[in-house]
Structure 1
Amino acid sequence: MTATDIRPREARAQQARPVRGRTRRSPLLWLVTLLLISFAAVWIYPFVWVLSASVKGQLEVFSAGLSLLPEAFRWENYARAWVDADFGTYMLNTILVTAFTVAIVVVRCAMAGYVLARYSFLGRKFVVAVLVGTLFVPAGYTIIPVVELTQRLGLLNSLTGMVIALAGGGHVAAVLLYMGYFRGIPRELEEAAVIDGAGFGTVFFRVMLPLAGPVTATVVVLTFLATWNAFLLPLVFTFSRPELRTLAVGMQAFVGENSVDWPGMAAAATLSLLPIVALFLFLQRYFFEGIAGAVKS
């Protein structure tokens, strides 16, 4: 018997041997998979129910129980939400407020995180401690001074004042994300730029901020969600000017004194969710990379 006859037998024997680790883990793997699928189904059901309710009739929303299939698709609910409830205007207001708020928050928090991560100064640890402490302060506690300040500036009933109020908060999570990410970047990059004659602005905007792309995507998503769904501040800023309402505040248009237009509200909620889902699908990879990079640093 030659060596060439032995090798195929050994290869066949190795292929025939069962992999103990895989055999033992397969039942547990199937169980975990079923549990995750069940959890995902329970979690996604409310969203599917809203989509189903948006094309149902007023009585059918509750008479159908847990059924998701409508008797007849009533697409006029979307037309009623977009035209009659003036959600086209609310959508434009929300897009403008969210876009400017996100831009301001990204630049401001990136600068703050960069300074806290790269510069040593007296009171730095105290500033970080105060920032972390403000995470436990409810947002409603600051509504009175914010409104008072914007009123004195003459910006209370305007989109500009709303943007300043939404973007002027602490946004501590964004600052900490940038601080953790910038702390892990080698200092040689900054030193090389300084040797070439770059100042603070050039080093930050042309070297450091482009490197923080994953964190920026994370901050964009988080700020977009918070601003798009903000209710309290936009409600206060649009009391006397309903034409400046955002989508979250505009939902009240479907609530009457004696009844609620549930199909119209579901259609409006679906319209307001579409930009959020589109943005997250576009930035999801950078979103998780930014969180992982900041935590690792």
Structure 2
Amino acid sequence: MRRSAAETAVGGHSGSFMRRLYRLPSKLIIGLFLLAVLIFTLFPLLVTVLGSLKTNAEVTAGGTLLPNEWRFSNYAEAWRQADFARFSWNSLFISSMTTIIALLISAMAGYVVNRRTFPGKRMYTALQASTMFISIGAVVLRPQFELIVAMNLNASLWGIILILLGSHAAVFFMIIGFYSAIPRELDEAATIDGCSFYGVFFRIVLPLLRPGLAVGALFQFRNAWNEYITPLVFTMTNPKLQTLTVGLANLRYGYNAATQTHLMMAGACISLLPILIVYIFANRSFMQVTAGSVKG
């Protein structure tokens, strides 16, 4: 027998209700999982911020999350003891110059690799990839140091910048992905209008690459800012060139050789501010990238 329209409507509504009911457990599981990830991500940060406002004895004893006495003076003391003004400038200079130069190199190299064919192209790309997946760590510190000494850069921040520039492969491949979204017809049209190879790159392609450059700048700046081993090794003989990450380690022990965990936490909170500022400025580019990825 043929079902009436009312029965069909009721049956469809019932089926839709059952499908939504079946989806509830999966949504609940996903929600609980995301909540757990959020808690595990933010809880250490919360403990650090609150610990930076406690006394050293209170941090060492533990047992309470909130400080009994809110000591905002810990930040001023950490800033004074670790010479944060000098170390912050060193870190800012190294991170900024490393980011600018790495973006320029990656953008130019990515443009040539994406738009041109030349002998050794595959080998160059493979070498760039190998620097990402093959980490030899401290093994290269000695030859790197000898190279910098031979170039008379061991008493300058430029020696550290030169070493850190070797880790730009991730930005290189990231920018190549953005080049794939820029039509080649723009290059051809600009060439027909009389633009040279460099004119096409700097006047046409580079402005369109702005979101990719912003994302790459965030990752490169963060890596350079958080680097510890390389600045530590290259500034052992010249403490005035130490970066903020190295200076934070100096807060571990005070003048009486007692552990100063509360000051280390305060210094760590201060060192997070530049990364947050860079992210705020790059957030718009992140939104552009996300919006472009869902167009269809």
Shared fold, TM over 0.5: yes
After the TM superposition, which residues 196-211 of structure 1 pair with which residues of structure 2 at under 5 Å, given as runs?
A: 196-211=193-208
Tell me: CA distance 1:170–1:35, structure 2 relative to 1, closer, same or farther (3 Å).
Answer: closer
SS of equivalent residue, structure 1 residue 127: helix
Aligned to 1:216: 213
> What is the deviation of 1:142?
2.9
Deviations 1:2-38 (A, max 9, x none): xxxxxxx99x989976644333212321232122112
- Give the AA of the match of 1:52: L
Question: Residue 191 of structure 1: CA displacement?
Answer: 0.8
2:106 to 106, 109, 122: 109
Matched, 1:260 2:259: yes
Q: Distance in 2 between matches of 1:57 and 1:170?
A: 39
* 1:183-202 mapped onto 2 (5 Å cutoff): 183-202=180-199
- Provide the C-alpha distance between the structure 1 equivalents of 2:23 and 2:277, rounded to a whole number of angstroms: 37
Aligned position for 2:280: 281
C-alpha distance in structure 2 between counterparts of 1:214 and 1:114, whole Å: 15
Q: Aligned partner of 1:76: which letter?
A: S
Asked whether 1:172 is paired with 2:169, we answer: yes
Greater alpha carbon shift after TM alignment, 256-265 vs 73-82:
256-265
Q: Tell me the distance in 1 between the aligned counterparts of 2:188 and 2:180.
A: 15
Residue type of the alignment partner of 2:271: S
**Quick one: which of 130, 139, 142 aligns to 1:141?**
139
What letter is aligned with 1:119?
A: R
Q: Distance in 2 between matches of 1:27 and 1:281?
A: 36
Partner of 2:92: 95
Percentage of pairs with the same residue: 35
- Kindly report the root-mean-square deviation, in angstroms, between the aligned alpha carbons of the 2 structures: 2.7
Name the CA shift for 1:25/1:291 in 2 (closer, same or farther; >3 Å).
Answer: closer
Distance 1:137 1:234, change over 3 A: same
Alpha-carbon distance between aligned partners in 2 of 1:270 and 1:164, rounded to the nearest angstrom = 28
C-alpha distance in 1 between matches for 2:11 and 2:278 = 49
Letter in 2 for 1:268: G
Q: Secondary structure at the match of 2:56?
A: coil
Amino acid at match of 1:74: R
Partner of 1:246: 243
Q: Confirm or deny: 8 A CA contact 1:90 1:244 kept in the other structure.
A: yes
Contact 1:215 1:289 in 2 (8 A): no
Deviation larger for 112-121 or 276-285: 276-285
Q: Deviations over 1:50-97 (max 9, x none)?
A: 1011011111113223x3200001112111111222112111111111
Q: 1:212 to 1:97 in 2, by over 3 A?
A: same
1:73 equivalent in structure 2: 70
Which deviates the most, 19-28 or 184-193? 19-28
Which runs of 5 or more residues in structure 2 are unaligned? 1-5
Q: Quick one: distance in 1 between partners of 2:233 and 2:220? A: 20
Conservation of the 8 A alpha-carbon contact between 2:214 and 2:282: yes
Match of 2:3? none
* Residue in 2 that maps onto 1:44: 42
Secondary structure at the aligned position of 2:104 is classed as: helix
SS at match of 1:225: helix
Q: Report the alpha carbon displacement of residue 290 of structure 1 after superposing the two structures with TM.
A: 4.8
CA contact (8 A) 2:56 2:260 kept: yes
The normalised TM-score by structure 1 is: 0.87
The separation in 2 between residues aligned to 1:183 and 1:39, in whole angstroms, is 33
**2:81·2:251 contact (CA, 8 Å) conserved in 1?**
no
Q: Matches of 2:48 and 2:229 in 1, distance apart?
A: 23
> Which residue matches 2:116?
119
